[in-house]
Chains A and B, each alone.
Chain A
Amino acid sequence: MRKWFANPRNKRSFIEFLYICPFLALVAIFSYYPLYGWVYAFFDYRPPFPLDIHKFVGLKWFISMVENPVKAKQVLSVLRNTFAMSGLNLFFSWFPMVFAIFLNEINCRWYKKFVQTVTTLPNFISWVLVFSIAYGVFNSTGAVNTILQELGITNEPIMFLQSDRHIWFKMWLWNTWKNAGWAAIMYIAAITGIDGELIEAAKVDGATQRQIIWHIEIPSILPTYFVLVMLQLANFLSNGMEQFYVFENSFNKDTIEVLDLYVYNLAMGAGGYSLSTAISMLKSIVSVVLLSATNLISKKVRGEGFI
């Protein structure tokens, strides 16, 4: 051991390790240590009492998800919502790309810049604020209802928020409002990165703008699109809970509750601690499998993965 330290290179390598130790400790505490909490999924845990070995229940919670009719129904409905929302996002994943392509067609520089600036802005506000804005614009005395009533389209205010009509589509719309401009930036950068000479050459050969888009721009940004779709697939079960938490109310509870929100609601409800842990554990495992699978597909298709 002493001999090892006598080598200045080894000594330095150890000192450098000491430098990063505090940060490795943070990672260990906040990312790895919580995994130990998965044991709660195998117990009948009721806070605030400490974990009791006699309350070991094995796979009871996992089985209850399938066998208990009430639970099974809830889980199915939550899965349906999750699949619907992620599916919609996946189905319309081309939107930011098309948004970027046509934005690039605008020749007026300040206008292009202006559109890019204002459509990116919503990405930087929180879901709480999005909800606050949604409430302001769409509640019964909000801008939209006022306009609709003044135009005589409707006499009664339409309850946009306090209803479960088209809720998946509405959630997709809010998500798109918040994220599309931001997502487009990556494609805009990719289009800007295309070799100008290539486009010039095409123009000299008499290519129309439509042909340039179709044969030069789209092929060169497709790899970016592919990676993003793969990442979206990997995150299929993770919609996050904030958006759905803030938009949730007693009218839309059944159709808005996605997996992440369900896990939270279970945890907050009485006695749902262990079941909630069991579900988040399953979700985490499935997500890792999805990620490996998509990474593998990416390797097959592009020759490189994204992890």
Chain B
Amino acid sequence: MAKQKTSHTKYKVNAGDRVMSVLIYVIYAIFAFVCVYPFYYIFINSISNNDISARGKVLFLPKEIHFTNYTRVGQIPGLADAFKISIGRTLIGTALTVVIAAFLGYMFTRDTLWKRKLWFRLVAATMYFNAGIIPWFITMKNLHLTNNFWGYVLPMAVQPFYIILCKTFVESVPHELQDAAEIDGAGTLKVFFYIIVPVIKPILATIAIFAAVAQWNAFQDTLLLVTDPKLYTLQFVLYQYINQASSLKSLVNNATSGNLAASLAHAQTATSIRMTVSVVVVTPIMLVYPFFQRYFTKGIMIGAVKG
């Protein structure tokens, strides 16, 4: 048959398929635009003439580019502190979560562990229930973890889902590896550090990314547990700015009114503050995003095996 004569003709291409194919390209271009444009929009507005931007006239290209907004938001009291807190909780919280997931994931594969199945089930079960806000708050209060930096990291340290990911991964590693090391006299911990950790690095990278994003984006715990402005996170401060941008505007403008040269174009507006802080908050995600993207599918597929 004619169709089979040329092997590179994958399937019949008729006019209908052509139209379909073009349509698909166009529709996905729209999806991509809808996802990208908002980020682009806040960025160009944060570097445009503030007066024009506040009137909503900066749509596709930045107008009268300047970067004073970025130096000015630094003067908002508390922003630098919030940045430190967010970085701190992301680093410490991620490290804790990853180490615990790796270690427990490994320990829960060991037949020698006393009551292994029981402990594993008790840990895994916590994925499926939640005491609720008030009992949670009272617990945290009793433990003196309200208005406390450790209130950000300790409760999120043991993540059953990541433990299951690690456990599944360790189970897929040939057991002979561990056996050989143990015959050579390696103890439980030695096997973990020298055999297991190097082998499960890929899954640990995946977990680190998810844990870091969760820590960086966390908002609810600040809302519930923290009243001390020194412990506010970047997300929380951003939320406050969105709602109070107009009062902050006057604050920042007054602080710099010493030099009256601050023209209308560079004077802070509610819009400029919102946009600029948003860019500050989203930048770390944007910076690491290209690097961690390749771990997505891997992580999700391992999760799907068990999930």
Contacts and interface: CB of A to CB of B under 8 A. Distances in A.
A204 B9 CA distance: 10
Most chain B beta-carbon contacts within 10 A, residue among A27, A32, A146: A27
B304 A124 contact: no
Contacts of A99: 31
B139 A284 contact: no
Interface residues of B, number: 88
Contacts of A33: 139
Given A40-B135, A143-B41, A103 B289 contact: no
B133 interface: yes
B15 interface: no
A161 B128 CA distance: 34
Contact of B56 (A15, A121, A142): A142
Contact of A35 (B11, B59, B135, B297): B135
A24 B21 CA distance: 54
Contact of B296 (A135, A185, A246, A276): A185
A125 B274 contact: no
Contacts of B289: 121, 124
Contact of B11 (A128, A131, A207, A277): A207
Contact of A132 (B24, B42, B133): B42
Interface string B1-23: 00110000011100001000100
A126 B113 contact: no
B277 to A, nearest CB: 8
B217 interface: yes
A121 B287 CA distance: 12
B135 A36 contact: yes
Interface stretch (B63-71, B200-208, B257-265, B278-286): B278-286
A126 B235 contact: yes
Interface string B134-174: 11111100010000000000110110000000000000000
B226 to A, nearest CB: 14
A306 interface: yes
A108 B138 CA distance: 55
B135 A263 contact: no
Nearest to B278: A132
Contacts of B277: 132
Nearest to B108: A20
Given A26-B154, A129-B282, A136-B278, A35 B35 contact: no
Contacts of B236: 128
B278 A288 contact: no
Interface in A115-171: 115, 117-122, 124-129, 131-137, 141-143, 145-147
B254 interface: no
Contacts of B45: 136
Contact of A288 (B107, B129, B219, B285): B129
B25 A106 contact: yes
A208 B107 CA distance: 51
A169 to B, nearest CB: 16
Nearest to A272: B134
B134 A40 contact: yes
Most chain B beta-carbon contacts within 10 A, residue among A23, A33, A106: A23
Interface in B189-247: 189, 213, 216-220, 223, 235-236, 238-239, 242
A133 B126 contact: no
Interface stretch (B73-81, B87-95, B114-122): B114-122
B59 A30 contact: no
A111 interface: yes
Interface string A206-217: 111100100000
Nearest to B213: A124
B35 A121 contact: yes
B188 interface: yes
B129 A284 contact: yes
Contacts of A126: 216-219, 235, 281
Contacts of B281: 126, 128-129, 132
A189 B34 CA distance: 23
B28 interface: yes
Given A16-B113, A129-B235, A136-B42, A276 B107 contact: no
11 contacts: A27-B123, A114-B32, A121-B289, A122-B35, A132-B278, A136-B45, A188-B297, A189-B301, A242-B220, A284-B130, A288-B128
Interface of A: 9, 12-17, 19-20, 23-24, 26-27, 29-38, 40, 99, 102-103, 105-106, 108, 111, 114-115, 117-122, 124-129, 131-137, 141-143, 145-147, 177, 181, 185-186, 188-189, 203-204, 206-209, 212, 224, 227, 241-242, 245-246, 263-264, 267, 273, 276-277, 279-281, 283-284, 287-288, 291, 306-307
